[in-house]
Structure 1
């Protein structure tokens, strides 16, 4: 695979994360320090889809044009190694941005002790929203286990797994299993999934040779594209768990998350405030969608 130099779709974003392909060359990204969900058109022009407050961290496309957002409440890393704090922080929650721009909260009373820091999310084949809560990830000296929680169509919130070492990116693969980035171990974990019985015990699917796994996406052939944020690389992992390729990103870019659409791999460079596109000629694995709230 030859990635080449990425094309900058737009720049000037305030810590972009969580891209979701909307079709027609448009991509929705959260701006964590901008506290909003932004639509980036194919020509790079931008418009605000919803003002969210806190620290929006990940997004997932839902049914009827809605986009769901994991909001960590108002915390972000910075270029200098410190933390950005929202002017008006709150405990983390899951939000919905409707097609008309209406912002609502679909889950706020999350399981377990605070702080709740929802990180990433995806819809499952059962119509539920699966959300990683990285808990107190900013306190590495006293890091507590994170969680996977689900939000059902009726708004019921339930913890389905406890995961140490910072659970991060999450998504269902073509094999029907649930994949999870465990950032501090550099591992991708995988859970067997059954709509009736929930999640099985996690297994190690792969380990990144460099970088800390953050967000990821699948192509139609089952290859997994994982953003190795602090390693400035996107690692391509085959369906068998072997490393197929590594796409280097510019030093200091910190790739945080990715999605596929229009044959392109879109990647958010958080520290340089860019959404970029690699013209790889790949097709996306179709994502599950749902409707909550």
Structure 2
């Protein structure tokens, strides 16, 4: 497929958001930043977040909401970066909110029901203004976290665990009519669909397999 290279030197970019003026917001996980790429390829840092900013989405208030996974030990091989185990300076994951005009950053959530967010990965807003997000967890030398999906208010006032357990939940999205929540499970190479009964509420027992694959799914 023909393609055009716009920018180079990005440090493990993810979560691109196309802005009306032609700019693209994205996170650089290995750099720890929320960055802006202009149509001419210039890259500027909007906010230095640290940790491992992983997924991003614009909220109803126009601010950028970021899943921060807390960082990785990075492996460089043949000029490429690969995420590895939980880093030595890991302090947990978090959900952050960035004012795009000032770069001011607010940490909204670090815990749910007294449990540390391990590695928030991706997020999506619904029409009511709430946000769904996955927690991919972290890997250590001999163990890996079992995690799930959360639903939270954008103002930092409410968070609940909506689905548990999942094996490496990664990408997340909503059907056009918001009747179903889609969650990609990396380790099992499955895409699950959950019927939504009301904002933030699903019954995990009613899930259906929307797609399966022979290799890991990230989305």
Q: Is the 8 A contact 1:91 1:115 kept in 2?
A: yes
Measured on the aligned residues, the alpha-carbon RMSD in Å equals: 2.4
1:128 Cα deviation from its structure 2 partner: 0.9
Residue from 207, 210, 217 that aligns with 1:205: 210
- Please list, as runs of the form range in 1=range in 2, the aligned pairs for 1:1-293 lying within 5 A after superposition: 4-75=1-72, 77-80=74-77, 83=84, 88-100=89-101, 101-111=103-113, 113-114=115-116, 116-136=118-138, 138-139=139-140, 142-154=143-155, 155-176=157-178, 177-195=180-198, 198-201=201-204, 202-209=207-214, 211-215=215-219
Asked which structure has the greater RCO (Cα within 8 Å, sep 6+), the reply is 1
SS of the residue aligned with 2:40?
coil
Q: Is the 8 A contact 2:85 2:140 kept in 1?
A: no
Residue deviations 1:127-150 (CA, integer Å, cap 9, x gap): 2111111223x2485334211111
Alignment CA distance shift 1:199-1:89 (3 Å): same
Alignment CA distance shift 1:62-1:167 (3 Å): same
Residue deviations 1:99-156 (CA, integer Å, cap 9, x gap): 22111111122346446111111112332111111223x2485334211111114521
TM-score with structure 1 length normalisation?
0.65
Count of aligned positions: 210
Q: Which runs of 5+ in 1 are unaligned?
A: 216-293
Alignment CA distance shift 1:31-1:113 (3 Å): same
Q: Which runs of 5+ in 2 are unaligned?
A: none
